[in-house]
């Protein structure tokens, strides 16, 4: 069911009804609703086996044992020298985002009076 939108007599087309963001967050689903996925945004992890691909640096390996550290540092050096940029994985930002989501959900569960304070 589409909702038609008109402003000052101009027909701006329609839009599909969408779930409230708070409802989506409360479902605790790890899946993104299909309507929000753009095909050009679906990315696979990039491999460095192909020299035409952007190098991937694993932050976790940089913080581990000597041999893994040395190999990853060599990859990082090569990426900086030859590419000037790289994809960074296992950087821990996912955990920060999850914590932020919990804090945000808790905030929106508060009564309006407490939120306004």
Helix runs in the chain, H state only: 21-26, 59-62, 66-82, 93-109, 112-116
pLDDT at 2: 47
66 vs 71: CA distance, rounded Å:
9
pLDDT digits (tens, 9 = 90+) for 53-87: 889 999 888 888 777 888 899 999 999 998 898 99
Residue 58: Cβ within 10 Å count: 18
What value does the mean pLDDT take over residues 37-60?
A: 68
Q: Where are the beta strands (DSSP E) in 16-117?
A: 56-58, 87-89
């Amino acid at each position: 069911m589409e909702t038609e939108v008109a402003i000052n007599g101009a027909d701006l087309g329609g839009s599909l009804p969408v779930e409230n963001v708070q409802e989506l967050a409360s479902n605790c689903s790890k899946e993104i609703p299909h309507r929000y996925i753009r095909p050009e945004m679906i990315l696979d992890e990039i491999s460095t086996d192909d020299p035409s691909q952007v190098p991937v640096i694993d932050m976790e390996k940089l913080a581990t044992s000597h041999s893994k550290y040395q190999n990853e540092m060599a990859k990082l050096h090569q990426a900086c020298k030859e590419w000037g940029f790289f994809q960074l994985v296992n950087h821990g930002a996912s955990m920060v985002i999850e914590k932020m989501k919990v804090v945000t959900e808790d905030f929106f569960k508060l009564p309006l009076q407490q939120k306004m304070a």
